[in-house]
């Protein structure tokens, strides 16, 4: 799929990787970018900040079925859907005071992603097939205990992407799963001791996956290292997670 001249929708576009995707899409010649955010003020600000009128801010909470349906009905020219919106509440499965934060991560990271794919699949089909990009995490290929709700939600989203790819193959829609490691964003500010990529780096890597129809793509050095560790010595990797949890509790 060509990025130049395409029309894209990016969820969670007001900061971090989402903002990086908006900036990179514009730099690579996208005709229009629908920049989605939960806040009307954020949506308006993103639109106002684009001097050439190629950004349209829209209010969208991916867990709100009415807003998702409205977005699909409004944005009928979309050929590239980037599911970036995410929630990370930094709760463990056993120590979380209740299940609320864990449920919210699953609602946003899994059910919200699936809802967007379901809503926009007919739009993409009408526009020639296009592509879906699901922004996932190295925590979706390796279970990270400190990310008790987040990591399982990304595992689920990764599996969903494989299922959706098979379901939409017949209409020519490519589905790319991005395995993201460490990025210099607010969500990852707690991560120390590793090299962090910029949001634009992740966006460039993600758009490369779109252009070359790559099904699953490790977007940065940290993601590549995690996958290599998993392939080389999965038992040692699991043990390192246990040791890290012990240090955290200590």
| Range 7-249 has CATH code 3.50.50.60 | no
Q: What is the pLDDT of residues 141-161, one digit of tens each?
A: 999 999 999 999 999 999 999
pLDDT at residue 247 in the model = 75
pLDDT band at 248 (very low <50, low <70, confident <90, very high): low
pLDDT in tens, 19-37: 999 999 999 999 999 999 9
Strand partners, 10: 35, 82
Question: What phi-psi label fits residue 73: left (phi over 0), alpha (psi between -120 and 50 degrees) or beta?
Answer: alpha
Summarize pLDDT for 72-95 with one digit per residue, the tens. 999 999 999 999 999 999 999 999
Q: Residues 34, 119: contact at Cβ < 8 Å? A: no
Q: Give the number of other Cβ atoms within 10 Å of residue 122's Cβ.
A: 12
Res. 196 pLDDT band, cuts 50 70 90:
confident
Asked if residue 36 lies in contact with residue 43, where contact means CB atoms within 8 angstroms, the answer is yes
Note every long-range contact of 24-27, with CB atoms under 8 Å and residues 24 or more positions apart, other chains counting.
24/200, 24/203, 24/204, 24/207, 25/203, 25/207, 26/50, 26/54, 26/55
pTM of the full predicted structure?
A: 0.94
Per the listing, tokens 């007001």 go with 14
Question: At 189, is the pLDDT very low, low, confident or very high (cuts 50, 70, 90)?
Answer: low
pLDDT range class, residue 140, cuts 50, 70, 90: very high
pLDDT of residue 238: 92
Q: At what angle do helices 221-232 and 234-249 cross, to 10 degrees?
A: 110
């Amino acid at each position: 799929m060509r990025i130049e001249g395409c029309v894209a929708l990016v969820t969670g576009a007001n900061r971090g990787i989402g903002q990086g995707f908006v900036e990179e899409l514009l730099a690579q010649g996208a005709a229009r970018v629908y920049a989605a955010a939960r806040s009307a003020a954020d949506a308006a600000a993103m639109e106002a900040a684009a001097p050439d009128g190629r950004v349209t801010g829209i209010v969208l909470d991916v867990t709100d079925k009415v807003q998702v349906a409205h977005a699909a009905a409004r944005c009928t020219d979309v050929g590239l859907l980037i599911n970036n919106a995410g929630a990370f509440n930094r709760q463990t499965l056993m120590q979380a005071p209740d299940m609320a934060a864990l449920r919210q991560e699953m609602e946003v990271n899994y059910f919200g992603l699936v809802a967007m794919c379901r809503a926009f699949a007919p739009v993409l089909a009408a526009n020639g097939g296009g592509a879906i990009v699901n922004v996932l995490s190295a925590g979706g290929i390796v279970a990270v205990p400190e990310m008790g709700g987040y990591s399982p939600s990304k595992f689920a989203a990764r599996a969903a992407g494989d299922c959706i790819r098979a379901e939409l193959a017949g209409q020519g829609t490519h589905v790319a799963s991005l395995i993201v490691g460490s990025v210099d964003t607010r969500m990852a500010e707690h991560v120390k001791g590793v090299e962090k990529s910029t949001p634009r780096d992740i966006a460039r890597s993600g758009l490369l996956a779109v252009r070359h129809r790559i099904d699953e793509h490790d977007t940065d050095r940290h993601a590549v290292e995690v996958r290599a560790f998993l392939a080389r010595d999965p038992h040692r990797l699991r043990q390192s997670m246990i040791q890290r949890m012990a240090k955290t509790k200590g």
